[in-house]
Amino acid sequence: MPIYEYSCDSCHAQFEELVTAGQKPICPKCQSEHLTRRLSVISTPSSGSKVEGGVCDPLPGGG
């Protein structure tokens, strides 16, 4: 079940919604069904991240 970002065409509220197959989301603010799905920003590691062997380096002090 993916989480999508929406913008309401009626009241311009922006929100995220967990959507199941066949479900039509509604605006939590005004209950409108007139929504526009927005492009989500995906997270990627920064170029300064150090990853070796698929595991991040442990925190100093073992924490």
| Per-domain residue ranges of the chain | 1-40
Antiparallel, parallel or unpaired: β 3-8 and 14-18: antiparallel
pLDDT band at 33 (very low <50, low <70, confident <90, very high): very high
Q: What is the pLDDT of residues 45-55, one digit of tens each?
A: 666 655 555 55
Q: How does residue 34 score in pLDDT terms, banded at 50, 70 and 90?
A: very high
pLDDT value at 3 more than 90: no
Q: Please write down the long-range contacts of 14-21, taking CB distance under 8 Å and 24 or more positions apart.
A: 14/38
Q: Is the pTM of this model over 0.85?
A: no
Per 3-state DSSP, the chain is made up of helix, strand and coil in percentages (nearest 5) of: 5, 30, 65
pLDDT of residue 50: 58
The whole-angstrom separation of Cα 27 and Cα 9 is 9
Q: 52: which 2 tokens? A: 């070796």
